């Protein structure tokens, strides 16, 4: 939700941040931090003809599937998962098997011609998810809201905003998604409400029950209680004339913070979770969780620059947030929600998923805490935002660094995830360059774990230009350079009017990108070499090949241009070599020292389709800038046993070909 616009996950803007002693080991991925986990027995029962890791149904075989040099899709060992008490087991039917696709509903599809996307519009486009072999869809907020922050300012947690439709529209959407084997993940926004919420109006009048539902402090109109600063700039306190006190808002003044030290507030929010779980939703993205609690003492936060005059402390980057983020008790609260959600996960096939959103920048150890502990479950995973920094330095070394930052710190036995774009950050095709969108998608879909795809990334959509008069984003109205509107433009479905987003009226809430006549779903479906076709092929390959889904991930080679790794599975004689050129020039990679690789390697798929089917010598692997290769090879020699310090696996599994079974070994 509230990522500070234009700011980096671990980039130069944050070099002044104070370092904390965390005790986190930054060792090799295979050193124990990666989580080889072998203390339980979990079996995989074979079901020939059904992909091991698909939620349901066979692999797509519709006309237009990308065809490789051998004339068909490649599939490997297959089997169906049998539930077990492990990270992979719990998630396998929801998000471990498929990318999570983020829908920003205002911009996805407008069904009624008012210029704004809606729930019926999402319903109209469900076939798009099936075409991509997407199984899990996260839809950004559609609660009733005054829309000061486009739905992240909630007026009623149990109602649909009329802009997006009705509760019946939601129920119809959810039912049809489930009919098609799709899972729906909602945004849950616990930190604050809208200032138009009933609770806030009762709190400001000091209603006996609701008086302490929000964070209030004595103050006057000219002197806030302390120096705390809002994410959007200036004081995070606003004086309320009705109550005669200031209320805390870590975001907009129209978004007052709830007081989670009040047990009644905690009960209210659990009741809201129950409401939507009973509707049948499959999980929640927990928004802005690090802000949920703040220190009760209200002390001033220390300044980054102690010499700066206090009156000039106006942005969040001027302070160390020792008292307003990641406070003691936060994880107890999240674990309480997790335990409550687990009571709804007892029905077979109805696991309820939980992901946390927390931008912790260089303090990666704080992010890892959202995984929980071996004894107490919390999030299935916290969102991994470090790949958002790929555009800072397009190089193989930088890509490997960002991947290793997560892998080397992730707790034992946990499941990784990867994000390259969302509604708060510039589109990756714009920030990294259109030349790199294909290789970034290849990275996303061949790394271990769960990828997240922001709508439009599958076709290479770019940011739009927004003039000052067109700005809709409240952050942009505060500072036009911080506007998030450019990455929220309407989805480009076709070369029809308004890119097919709205064909009933010539109006859209934000402008459509002018390239929509060539960059759209309809056009790219007809081109086997398009960004869309390659995304679809890679996603299908990922789900149908056990080494890509459940196998070892091993670093093989990294330099200024190329990042290369192996995906392999013990007991299976087929593996994958991934070679990705993130640099600015064509280079030849020499892997002759990697004895586990055969001398001759055939390209299964390349982001440059002219390379498909080529046979390369491992000593001479040529890649152009922005080009990636997926190479499938046969071998009886595994790479991981002799390179444990370069390899990672979440939960070790072995394949037994004789009876077509995958088991925990």
Q: What share of the chain has pLDDT > 90, as a percent? A: 79
Query: Which is higher by pLDDT, 326 or 93?
Result: 326
Residue 477 phi, psi (nearest 5): -75, -25
Residue of 149, 254, 287, 545 marked active site: 287
- Residue 531 shares a structural domain with residue 612: no
- Residue 218 shares a structural domain with residue 298: yes
Tell me which residue range forms the domain holding 557. 551-664
Predicted confidence at residue 330, as pLDDT, reads 98
Longest dimension (CA), the chain: 78
Strands 417-419, 450-454: pairing kind: parallel
Separation of alpha carbons 575 and 247, rounded Å:
58
Contact 183, 55 (CB under 8 A): yes
- Residue 452 shares a structural domain with residue 374: yes
DSSP 8-state code for residue 594: -
394 lies in some domain? yes
Residue 476 phi, psi (nearest 5): -70, -30
33 lies in some domain? no
Examine the fold and report which residue of 490, 514, 540 is the final residue of a domain before the chain moves on: 540
Q: Is the pLDDT of residue 261 over 80?
A: yes
Q: Is the pLDDT of residue 602 over 80?
A: yes
Examine the fold and report which residue of 491, 509, 540 is the final residue of a domain before the chain moves on: 540
At 431-454, the pLDDT tens digits run 999 999 999 999 999 999 999 999
482 lies in some domain? yes
Separation of alpha carbons 623 and 59, rounded Å:
30
Strands 562-568, 600-606: pairing kind: unpaired
Name which of 657, 454, 658, 650 is nearest 42 in CA terms.
Answer: 650
Q: Is the pLDDT of residue 207 over 60?
A: yes
7 lies in some domain? no
Mean pLDDT for the chain overall? 87
At 506-517, the pLDDT tens digits run 899 999 999 999
At 508-555, the pLDDT tens digits run 999 999 999 999 999 999 999 999 999 999 999 999 999 999 999 999
Contact 48, 40 (CB under 8 A): no
19 lies in some domain? no
Residue of 110, 357, 473, 646 marked active site: 357
- Residue 421 shares a structural domain with residue 563: no
Contact 512, 495 (CB under 8 A): no
- Residue 351 shares a structural domain with residue 480: yes
529 lies in some domain? yes
| Confidence band for 193, pLDDT divided at 50, 70 and 90 | very high
612 lies in some domain? yes
- Residue 282 shares a structural domain with residue 298: no
Separation of alpha carbons 19 and 31, rounded Å:
24
Structure-token match 């310090």, residue found = 645
At 137-146, the pLDDT tens digits run 999 999 999 9
What are the strands of the beta sheet with 552-558, ordered from one edge? 615-617, 600-606, 628-634, 574-581, 562-568, 552-558, 647-648
State the distance between the two ends of the chain, measured CA to CA, in whole angstroms: 40
Separation of alpha carbons 139 and 136, rounded Å:
10
At 559-601, the pLDDT tens digits run 999 999 999 999 999 999 999 999 999 999 999 999 999 999 9
555 lies in some domain? yes
Here the CATH number for the domain that contains residue 382 is 3.20.20.80
Separation of alpha carbons 379 and 364, rounded Å:
15
- Residue 279 shares a structural domain with residue 428: yes
Cα 210-212-217 angle, rounded to 5 deg: 135
At 175-188, the pLDDT tens digits run 999 999 999 999 99
SS3 9: coil
Query: Which is higher by pLDDT, 567 or 36?
Result: 567
In the chain, the number of structural domains is 3
Tokens at 583, concatenated: 């640099």
- Residue 499 shares a structural domain with residue 531: yes
- A 10 A CB-CB count for 75 gives 15
- Residue 101 shares a structural domain with residue 200: no
Contact 34, 649 (CB under 8 A): yes
287 catalytically annotated = yes
- Residue 153 shares a structural domain with residue 237: no
pTM, rounded to two decimals: 0.88
Question: Residues 6 or more apart from 622 whose CB is under 8 A from it?
Answer: 586, 587, 588, 589, 616
Name which of 120, 105, 122 is nearest 169 in CA terms.
Answer: 120
Predicted confidence at residue 354, as pLDDT, reads 96
- Residue 151 shares a structural domain with residue 275: yes
Question: Residues 6 or more apart from 39 whose CB is under 8 A from it?
Answer: none
- Residue 345 shares a structural domain with residue 200: no
Separation of alpha carbons 533 and 524, rounded Å:
7
CA atoms within 13 A on the CB side of 445: 33
Here the CATH number for the domain that contains residue 253 is 3.90.400.10
311 catalytically annotated = no
Contact 577, 566 (CB under 8 A): yes
Examine the fold and report which residue of 308, 327, 346 is the final residue of a domain before the chain moves on: 327
| Confidence band for 72, pLDDT divided at 50, 70 and 90 | very low
Here the CATH number for the domain that contains residue 559 is 2.60.40.1180
Task: Give the rounded distance of the alpha carbon of 617 from its chain centre.
Answer: 37
């Amino acid at each position: 939700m509230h990522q500070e616009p234009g700011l980096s996950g671990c980039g130069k803007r944050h070099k002044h941040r104070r370092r904390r002693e965390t005790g986190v080991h930054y060792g090799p991925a295979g050193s124990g931090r990666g989580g080889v986990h072998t203390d339980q027995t979990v079996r995989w029962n074979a079901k020939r003809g059904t992909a091991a890791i698909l939620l349901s149904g066979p692999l797509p075989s519709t006309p237009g599937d990308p065809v490789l040099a051998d004339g068909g899709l490649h599939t490997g060992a297959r089997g169906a998962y049998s539930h077990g008490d492990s990270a992979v087991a719990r998630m396998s039917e929801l998000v471990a098997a498929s990318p999570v696709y983020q829908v920003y509903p205002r911009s996805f599809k407008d069904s009624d011609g008012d210029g704004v996307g809606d729930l019926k519009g999402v319903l109209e486009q469900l076939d798009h998810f099936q075409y991509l072999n997407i199984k899990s869809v996260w839809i950004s907020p559609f609660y009733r809201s005054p829309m000061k922050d486009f739905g992240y300012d909630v007026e009623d947690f149990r109602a649909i905003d009329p802009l997006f439709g009705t509760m019946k529209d939601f129920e119809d959407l959810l039912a049809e998604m489930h009919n098609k084997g799709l899972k729906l993940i909602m945004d849950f926004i616990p930190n604050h409400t809208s200032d138009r919420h009933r609770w806030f109006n009762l709190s400001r009048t000091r209603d006996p029950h609701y008086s302490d539902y929000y964070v209030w402090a004595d103050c006057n109109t000219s002197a806030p209680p302390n120096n705390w600063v809002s994410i959007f700039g200036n004081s995070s306190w606003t004086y309320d004339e009705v109550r005669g006190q200031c209320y805390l808002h870590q975001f907009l003044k129209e978004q007052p913070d709830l007081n989670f030290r009040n047990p009644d507030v905690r009960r209210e929010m659990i009741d809201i979770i129950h409401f939507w779980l009973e509707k049948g939703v499959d999980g929640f993205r927990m928004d802005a969780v690090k802000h949920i609690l703040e220190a009760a003492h209200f002390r001033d936060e220390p300044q980054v620059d102690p010499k700066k005059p206090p009156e000039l402390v106006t942005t969040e980057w001027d302070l160390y947030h020792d008292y307003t983020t990641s406070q003691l008790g936060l994880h107890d609260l999240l674990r309480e929600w997790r335990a409550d959600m687990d009571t709804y996960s007892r029905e077979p096939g109805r696991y309820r998923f939980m992901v946390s959103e927390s931008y912790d920048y260089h303090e990666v150890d704080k992010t890892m805490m959202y995984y929980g502990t071996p004894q107490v479950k919390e999030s299935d995973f916290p969102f991994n935002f470090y790949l958002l920094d790929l555009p800072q330095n397009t190089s193989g070394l930088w890509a490997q660094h960002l991947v290793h930052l997560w892998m080397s710190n992730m707790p034992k036995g946990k499941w990784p995830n990867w994000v390259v774009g969302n509604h708060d950050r510039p589109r990756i095709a714009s920030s990294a360059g259109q030349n790199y969108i294909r290789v970034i998608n290849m990275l996303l879909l061949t790394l271990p774990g769960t990828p997240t795809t922001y709508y439009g990334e599958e076709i290479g959509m770019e940011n739009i230009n927004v003039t000052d008069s067109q700005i809709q984003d409240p952050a942009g109205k505060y500072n036009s350079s911080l506007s998030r509107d450019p990455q929220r433009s309407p989805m480009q479905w076709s070369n029809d009017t308004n890119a097919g987003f709205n064909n009933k009226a010539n109006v859209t809430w934000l402008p459509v990108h002018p390239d929509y006549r060539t960059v759209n779903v309809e056009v790219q479906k007809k081109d086997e070499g398009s960004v869309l076709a390659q995304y679809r092929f890679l996603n299908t390959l990922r789900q149908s090949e056990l080494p890509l889904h459940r196998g070892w991930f091993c670093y093989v080679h990294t330099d200024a241009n190329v990042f290369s790794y192996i995906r392999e599975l013990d007991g299976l004689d087929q593996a994958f070599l991934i070679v990705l050129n993130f640099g600015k020039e064509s280079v030849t990679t020499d892997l002759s020292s990697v004895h586990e690789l055969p001398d001759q390697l055939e390209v299964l798929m390349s982001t440059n389709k002219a390379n498909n089917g080529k046979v390369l010598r491992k000593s001479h692997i040529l890649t152009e800038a922005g080009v990636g290769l997926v190479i499938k090879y046969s071998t009886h020699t595994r790479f991981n046993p002799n390179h444990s310090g370069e390899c990672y696996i979440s939960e070790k599994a072995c394949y037994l070909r004789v009876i077509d079974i995958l088991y925990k070994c």
